[in-house]
Amino acid sequence: MSRLGTLAHNLYSGEVSYDFVGKRRRWYAISGVILLLALIGLFGRGLNLGIEFKGGSQFTVPSTTASVEQARASVEKSGVPGADAAIVTQVGTGKIRIQTPPLTPDQSAQVTRQLSTDLGVAQGDIGVQLVGPSWGGEITQRAVQGLIVFLVLVAVFLSAYFEWRLAIAALVALLHDLLITIGIYALTGFEVTPATVIGVLTILGFSLYDTVVVFDKVKENTRGITSGNRATYSEAANLALNQTLVRSINTSVVALLPVASILIIGVGFLGAGTLKDLALALFIGTAAGTYSSIFIATPVACQLQEQRPEMKALAARVAARRAGGEGKRSARKAAGGTGTATAVIDDVETDADAVDDSGGVTRESLTGGAAVPTGPRTQPKKNTTRSSRTKKR
């Protein structure tokens, strides 16, 4: 534990730094591949929609000793239309679930009676769900409406609270999470029910929670940054990411624990239904949300920010300063004056666009040693520790 504490400290101080921003192309590539798979899944296989979306009838027979075959025979005996197309499955502890095409209330009563007789279960104990064919379209429409309204509101809020570039980055990360979650559903063929939709919509809040936490630190670290020449926006943001890394991990773990327990109980105890569907979507979404707030949201935000003239100017100044050998790292540069770690990464990659690292060059940056990345304008790097030990990732 205390090793984790030390790591956290080193991350905070910048003694250990992972270059999330500089290596963004790598993360983009990884996400791109996953998203591509998600799209292939979505358009190739499509989603396995539950009866709430397709319309249909579902009967749940509680704890019974009857077999799936008996249940199927019973349904067919009831003689309702589509009975031969019934899907009969065993779920949870001895429950049997039967799904048929849409039935009228009368027909469903017929099935219930037949099941009750054949399987020896009281009629009142059989759960019934009938969904009209158009209902699914309606709830889908509302979910999409909700999604759009939410995105607009969030964009407005984040633009006001941070600024529009960060808002866009946060939304990009959010869509990334949504798409991955949906894609995983398509690829695995997990059933999509209204509970799944709830889960997916909740991811909205979750994914943004993480992102907001990180961005808050980014905002703090980059306050007044343009008046200095110590670090570029990307560097400051990357420091923020590292500083909040432990926090992100902790919030994610803490958020996932209850979700995981719903999943465990939902699958183990009930077998199927609301709890499982909800928790599964949440689990996937939250995991994706944690990933994206670190690897997608901030890098995208940096890219957008670096487009601004003042940020370009800043980057130029920083480069010039470093090139000019003026890299005396005075330790006491409390740039923001706020007493926070005002984002200073001492020896740095010169350029936010620096591509992927050729191996995390270690720089000696002892006391005053200006780590001036003059020529090799690349290396996103590990910041050095005073012992000049760079921890490689």
Q: CB of 66 within 8 A of CB of 88?
A: no
Q: Sign of the C-alpha dihedral, residues 213, 215, 216, 222?
A: positive
Q: CB of 214 within 8 A of CB of 293?
A: yes
For the bound state, the minimum distance from the C-beta of residue 293 to another protein, rounded and expressed in Å, comes to: 11
Q: Sign of the C-alpha dihedral, residues 5, 11, 12, 14?
A: positive
Q: φ, ψ for residue 217 (rounded to 5)?
A: -70, -40
- Using alpha carbons only, give the angle 265, 270, 274 rounded to the nearest 5 degrees: 85
> Side chain identity at 170, as an amino acid letter?
A
Q: Which residues pair with 231 in a beta bridge?
A: none
Please state, in angstroms and rounded to a whole number, the distance separating the CA atoms of residues 56 and 133: 7
- Using alpha carbons only, give the angle 348, 351, 354 rounded to the nearest 5 degrees: 100
Please state, in angstroms and rounded to a whole number, the distance separating the CA atoms of residues 382 and 5: 19
Please state, in angstroms and rounded to a whole number, the distance separating the CA atoms of residues 173 and 343: 23
State which residue, 44 or 146, has the beta carbon closest to another protein: 146
Please state, in angstroms and rounded to a whole number, the distance separating the CA atoms of residues 114 and 120: 10
Mapped onto helix, strand or coil, the DSSP state of residue 96 is: strand
Q: CB of 268 within 8 A of CB of 238?
A: no
Q: Which residues pair with 117 in a beta bridge?
A: none
Structure token digits, residue 51: 């009866």
**Beta carbons within 8 Å of 376's beta carbon, 6+ residues apart:** 361
- Burial classification of residue 266, based on how many CB atoms lie within 10 Å of its CB (0-12 exposed, 13-18 middle, 19 or more buried): buried
Structure token digits, residue 123: 């009629």
Please state, in angstroms and rounded to a whole number, the distance separating the CA atoms of residues 52 and 102: 10
In this structure, the chain runs to a length of 393
Alpha-helix runs per DSSP H in the chain: 2-13, 24-40, 51-54, 68-78, 105-119, 135-161, 164-188, 194-221, 233-243, 245-265, 274-292, 298-305, 309-323
